[in-house]
Structure 1
Amino acid sequence: MDKQFWLDKWHKGEIGFHEGQPNSLLEQHWSTLGVAAGSAVLVPLCGKAQDLRWLAEQGLRVIGIELAQTAIEAFFAEQGWVPERDEQGPYQRYRAGGVELYCGDIFDLPALALDEVGVVYDRAALIAFPPELRRSYAAMLQEALPELKQLFLITLEYPQAEMSGPPFSVAEDEIRTLYGAQFGIEQLAHAEPERRFRQTTLSYLTESAWWLKK
C-alpha cells in the first residue's frame, strides 16, 4: 500500500479505525508508565484521535504525525480550537491546546530532530504497516528519537490469512524482534476488543497493550 491509500480513506470517510473516544486501554494503563507532566509524547499516525486531547489533559506535550491534512483539520475543528500553522522541515505544523500535529510522512520524522521526546504512544501505526514497513518503521523510530525511553503500544492479533489488513496482525514474537534489543517488554492487557475491527469471519481477534521500557 502507498500514501494514496490512506489519503483516499480519509477523503472517502472510510475511517473505521477511528474510535471517536479515548482508547480504553490508554485510559486504564497509561499511569503505569509514570510519565511526568510536561513530558513530550509522540503519537505516530495519529489521525484525529481523541487520545490526543486526553493525553494533553494529563499535562503532557502531545506531538502527533499524520499524513492526511483532512484528519488534522478535523481534529482541531472537533475540539473547537483554531490552530497556529507554520512549516517545520518537510511538515506543516498545527498547534493549539497543548497539541502539535505535523502533517506529512512518518518516515520523514528524523528531519524534526525531536530530541525531547522520551515516550511514544502507538495505537495505530505499527498495525497499519505490512511486515516490511513495520521493520523500517520500528528501526526509524528508535534512530530518530535518541531519548526514547518508553513506548505504550497497542496491537491486534488474528489469523492473518483470514483478513488482508490493514489493520495487520502483530504477534508478541514480532514485537520482541523489532524492539527487544533495546527495550524490556511487558504485556499489560490481552483480551477480545470491545468495539471496532470486530469481524465475525475471524476465528479469533485479540487486542493487547504493551509497555516497552529501556
Structure 2
Amino acid sequence: MDPDFWQEKWQKREIAFHQAAANPLLVSCFDQLAIAPEARVFLPLCGKSVDSHWLLARGYRVVGAELSEVAVTELFAELGLTPTVSTVGKLQHYSADKLEVFVGDIFDLSQVSLGPVAAIYDRAALVALPDSMRKRYAEHLVTISQGAPQLVICFEYDQAMLAGPPFSVDSAEIDTLYSAVYHLNCLAELEVPGGLKKKCQATERAWLLSKQ
C-alpha cells in the first residue's frame, strides 16, 4: 500500500474507518490474552483509535505505530496529553504518560526500538494491507514483538464485491500467516451491521494467537 494513500486519507478527513467507540470484539475478547495489569500492548497502524483510550482506561500501557502524524497528534490531543517528541532512527517517537507512538513506516520499527510487549492488538493493520504485503507484515510483527500473543480482528467478505481496504482476510489466510508460530483460536464473530461500507455482507472475526 502506497504510504501516500493513507496520508491523503487523513489530510482529506476520509476516515470512515475511524470508530467512535471501542471495538465490541476488543471489549469482549481482550481478557483472553490473560496479560498482567499495566502490561505493555502494541497497536500496529493505530491511527487515533479510541481502542487506545479503552486500553489506557483499564491501566494498560499502549505503544502504537502509525504512518500519519496528523492521526497521532489528534490522538494525544483527544486524550489531553502533551507528548515529548524525539527521533528514533527513521521514526518520530511521541510519548506521554502511558502512551507512546512511533510515527512512520512500521517496517522501519525494530525490536530494539519497540522494546518488550506483552501482547499485540491488531484491529486495523492486517486488514489495511493488500495481500502482497501481508506475509511480510506478519513476519515483521512476530520478529519485533518476539512472538508476543495477539488479538487479531479481521473482516471476511466477498473481495469481488469490494476493492478494499479493509481487505478480506479469511481463516485460511490467518492459518497460512501465523500457524507456524501460534496456536489459533477464533474467539467470536459478528455480522457487520448493514454490510461493509453498506455494499456487501461481511463478518468480523476475533482471533486469539497464543504462543505454541
- TM-score, normalisation: structure 1: 0.93
CA distance, structure 1, for counterparts of residue 92 and residue 115 of structure 2: 19
Q: Report the residue type matching 2:79 in the other structure.
A: Q
Shift of 1:57: 1.9
Shift of 1:46: 0.2
Ranges in structure 2 where 5+ consecutive residues have no aligned partner: none
Q: Deviations over 1:124-150 (max 9, x none)?
A: 00000011100110011112222x331
- TM-score, normalisation: structure 2: 0.94
Q: Does 1:208 align with 2:205?
A: yes
What is the 5 A alignment of 1:56-205? 56-110=56-110, 112-146=112-146, 148-194=147-193, 198-202=196-200, 204-205=201-202
CA distance, structure 2, for counterparts of residue 166 and residue 85 of structure 1: 30
Q: Does 1:52 align with 2:52?
A: yes
Q: Report the residue type matching 1:83 in the other structure.
A: P
Q: Report the residue type matching 2:2 in the other structure.
A: D
Q: Report the residue type matching 1:135 in the other structure.
A: K
Ranges in structure 1 where 5+ consecutive residues have no aligned partner: none
CA distance, structure 1, for counterparts of residue 5 and residue 57 of structure 2: 32
Aligned length in residues: 211
Distance 1:115 1:86, change over 3 A: closer
CA distance, structure 1, for counterparts of residue 113 and residue 83 of structure 2: 22
Q: Report the residue type matching 1:114 in the other structure.
A: L
Distance 1:114 1:102, change over 3 A: closer
Does the 8 Å CA contact 2:64/2:102 hold for their aligned counterparts? yes
Distance 1:136 1:86, change over 3 A: same
Q: Deviations over 1:102-158 (max 9, x none)?
A: 111111122644341131100000000011100110011112222x33100000011
Q: Share of identical aligned residues, percent? A: 42
The residue number in structure 2 matching 1:21 is: 21
Q: Report the residue type matching 1:181 in the other structure.
A: A
Does the 8 Å CA contact 1:46/1:65 hold for their aligned counterparts? yes
Does the 8 Å CA contact 1:38/1:61 hold for their aligned counterparts? yes
SS in 2 for 1:29: helix
Does the 8 Å CA contact 1:192/1:206 hold for their aligned counterparts? yes
RMSD: 1.5
